Amino acid sequence: MIAGGAGFLGSRLCSRYLEYGCTVTCLDNLSTGRLCNLSHIMDHPKFTFALHDVIDPISLESPFNYIFNMACPASPPKYQSDPIQTIKTSLYGAFNLLELAARKEARILQASTSEIYGDPEVSPQQERYQGNVNTVGPRSCYDEGKRAAETIFYDHHECFGTDLRIARIFNAYGPGMDAMDGRVVSNFINQALAGQPITIFGDGSQTRSFCYLEDMVDGLIALMHSPATSNIPINLGNPDEFSILELASLILKKIPTESKIIFVDLPQDDPRQRCPDISRARKHLGWVPTLNIRQLFMTLIPA
């Protein structure tokens, strides 16, 4: 069962498990998830779509062995547009899905995030780093919601022995992202294609590490099926770190365009740096990302 299965990562998980021959149920309230992400599998005999918000209790008859909680808007403009709904999605969603997992005796994976490190004071970020998060700011609804969800998962494991996995996802990108998602990779590509200004927030020196969709989905699946010792949080991301200015230059080199870079205000609490330490993923899952954004741009978009 994939909660948030109509989203960018969730829909790819649905397709992958169908390819493996599994029976898949997708639960989504379609707030940021899109049915077009599922159009190619909607009629698949082993696929069921249920329109449902994880904020509400979940009563599904089918048995489930594995549950992914991918349900939450993840792009800053999207999760900030309704912050109460965002934090409720993380908190109530965690409780409702953990209760479902208990009833079904299923293993459950929580899609957590690099945002739980906030604006990190160390780099790269290891899982034992406890973060630097503002509790009262525009990103708090997402950051603190995801932090508390990790706690709720941890406590369920401590109290009830829940079989769980926690993935801390670092900036995934790739085909199927909503063009209007508002995140930096899709924004810059769309702006370049439309000949519009490339909007760099701040001076562009802040960094991110971008992980390709298929690598991220491989990591999520490897984590879900990893031994029980992996119930500790695990970073999933590509340590290839870029400044946002470098990313803009790369895109401008690859897409013929009249677009020029413009600098606009840096949003409040925008993390200065972000780079995963993936030693744990390497050790526990044998997983490392295989593609980086530079190689992909070389392959997919000839100069």
Positions touching ligand UDP (CB under 6 A) are 75-76, 171, 183-184, 187, 199-201, 206, 208, 244, 267, 270
Among residues 17, 79, 142, 173, the one annotated as catalytic is: 142
How far apart are CB 98 and ligand UDP at their closest, in Å? 25
Residue 103 or 294 with smaller CB distance to ligand UDP: 294
Report which secondary-structure segment, H or E, holds 200.
strand 198-201
From the list 26, 150, 212, 130, the residue with the least C-alpha distance to 220 is 212
How many alpha carbons fall within 13 Å on the CB side of residue 274?
A: 26
Q: How many CB atoms lie within 10 A of CB 223?
A: 19
Q: Which two tokens stand for residue 296?
A: 């992909």
How far apart are CB 118 and ligand UDP at their closest, in Å? 11
> Can you tell me the distance from the alpha carbon of 60 to that of 101, in angstroms, rounded to the nearest whole number?
11
How far apart are CB 119 and ligand UDP at their closest, in Å? 10
Residue 24 or 219 with smaller CB distance to ligand UDP: 219
Residue 65 or 205 with smaller CB distance to ligand UDP: 205
Orientation of helix 8-19 relative to helix 213-224, angle to 10°: 60
- Residue 227 has φ and ψ, to the nearest 5°, of -60, 160
Contacts of 4 (CB under 8 A, 6+ apart): 10, 27, 28, 33, 54, 68, 69, 70, 71, 72, 111
How far apart are CB 201 and ligand UDP at their closest, in Å? 3
Residue 74 or 98 with smaller CB distance to ligand UDP: 74
Contact (CB, 8 A) for 105 and 63: no
Residue 97 or 211 with smaller CB distance to ligand UDP: 211
Distance of CA 97 to the CA centre of its chain: 17
79 among known catalytic residues: no
From the list 98, 70, 27, 49, the residue with the least C-alpha distance to 236 is 70
How far apart are CB 181 and ligand UDP at their closest, in Å? 8
CA distances from 254 to 193, 262, 295, 298 (A): 11, 18, 12, 8
Residue 187 or 238 with smaller CB distance to ligand UDP: 187
How far apart are CB 196 and ligand UDP at their closest, in Å? 11
Catalytic residues: 142
